[in-house]
């Protein structure tokens, strides 16, 4: 059986796994974006707070994903929960760091002007600072998504959903007829989906970045 025959034959299951993979990654990225932006907003004015937040987040990212997943199994059991917790933790770093860098990079003259025309603290943050930092935040989300696509494969070890299941059953069934096709379909599927998401980010950036700062 060639790879194409295999994919055609198992299309229904592969499509479902692809969908679960993308949905798991996108949901984790969104959750991490909410948390990351909140953390970023909380600490960006204090150099010490920024250093601690980025330092901690970098440390989390240094942790091998398989080891973190292993540590989460005794706590959360098997299934989607440990997978999503691990994915959110890994996505935090690029998003938090980019939020801090983006917010810190806003020209003080602009925020002064906003205050000068009578905007309150919250309005300055939501209507000026966050909008100017948005391209950086979005870039962080993009990096996080790409990274999570690969980590989600490993999360299938703890019975997480997605294409990782294909890779693992290809490994356990090594030597049998479709083992290589199965692992190949899983791996290539992840690469293709990652490219598609990259395209989605391109369009999101195109339509959501404030017109004044669009390059």
Partner 1 sequence: MSDVDVTGLSSEPGLKRADRVRLLAQPLAVLVVVGAVLVWAFARETDEIEAESIQAGVLLTKTWEHLLITVVVTAIVVGVAVPLGAMLTRRWAKPVAPVFLGIANIGQAAPALGVLVLFFLWTGWEGLWAAALPIAFYSLLPVLRNTIVGIQSVDPSLVDAARGIGMSPRSVLLRVEMPLALPMVLAGIRTSLVLAVGTATLAFFVNGGGLGELVDTGYKLNRPAVLVVGAVLAVGLALVVDWLGALAEQLLGPKGLG
Interacting residues toward partner 1 by CB under 8 A? 47-48, 50-52, 54-55, 57-59, 61-68, 70-71, 73-74, 93-94, 97-98, 101-102, 104, 135-136, 138-140, 143, 146-147, 149-150, 153-154, 164, 167, 170-171, 174, 179-180, 183-184, 186-187, 190-191, 194-195, 205
- Nearest distance, CB of residue 152 and partner 1, angstroms: 8
- Nearest distance, CB of residue 116 and partner 1, angstroms: 26
- Please say which residue, 107 or 116, places its beta carbon nearer to partner 1: 107
- Please say which residue, 43 or 124, places its beta carbon nearer to partner 1: 43
- Nearest distance, CB of residue 120 and partner 1, angstroms: 27
Write the Ramachandran bin of 162: left for phi over 0, alpha for psi from -120 to 50, otherwise beta: left
Contacts of 14 (CB under 8 A, 6+ apart): 7, 163, 166, 185, 189
- Please say which residue, 84 or 163, places its beta carbon nearer to partner 1: 163
Ramachandran angles phi, psi of 125, nearest 5°: -65, -50
- Nearest distance, CB of residue 155 and partner 1, angstroms: 10
| CA dist., res. 134 & res. 140, Å (int) | 10
Report yes or no: 128 and 111 within 8 Å, Cβ to Cβ: yes
- Nearest distance, CB of residue 4 and partner 1, angstroms: 17
What's the DSSP call for residue 161?
A: S
- Please say which residue, 35 or 179, places its beta carbon nearer to partner 1: 179
Report yes or no: 146 and 194 within 8 Å, Cβ to Cβ: yes
- Nearest distance, CB of residue 200 and partner 1, angstroms: 15
- Please say which residue, 15 or 171, places its beta carbon nearer to partner 1: 171
- Please say which residue, 80 or 178, places its beta carbon nearer to partner 1: 178
Residue with tokens 């309005």: 123
Dihedral angle over CA of 170, 89, 16, 193, nearest 10? -80
Ramachandran angles phi, psi of 171, nearest 5°: -70, -45
| CA dist., res. 164 & res. 186, Å (int) | 6
């Amino acid at each position: 059986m060639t790879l194409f025959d295999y994919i055609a034959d198992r299309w229904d299951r592969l499509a479902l796994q692809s969908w679960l993979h993308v949905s798991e990654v996108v949901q984790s990225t969104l959750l991490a974006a909410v948390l990351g932006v909140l953390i970023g907003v909380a600490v960006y004015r204090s150099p010490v707070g920024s250093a601690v937040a980025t330092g901690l987040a970098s440390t989390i990212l240094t942790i091998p994903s398989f080891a973190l997943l292993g540590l989460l199994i005794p706590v959360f059991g098997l299934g989607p929960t440990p997978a999503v917790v691990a994915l959110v933790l890994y996505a935090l770093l690029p998003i938090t760091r980019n939020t801090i860098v983006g917010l810190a990079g806003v020209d003080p003259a602009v925020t002064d002007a906003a205050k000068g025309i009578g905007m309150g603290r919250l309005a300055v943050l939501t209507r000026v600072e966050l909008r100017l930092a948005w391209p950086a935040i979005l870039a962080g989300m993009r990096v996080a998504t790409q990274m999570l696509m690969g980590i989600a494969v490993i999360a299938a070890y703890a019975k997480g959903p997605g294409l990782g299941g294909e890779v693992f059953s290809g490994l356990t069934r090594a030597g049998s007829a479709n083992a290589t096709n199965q692992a190949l379909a899983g791996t290539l599927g992840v690469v293709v989906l990652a490219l598609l998401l990259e395209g989605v980010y391109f369009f999101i950036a195109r339509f959501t970045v404030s017109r004044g700062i669009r390059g």
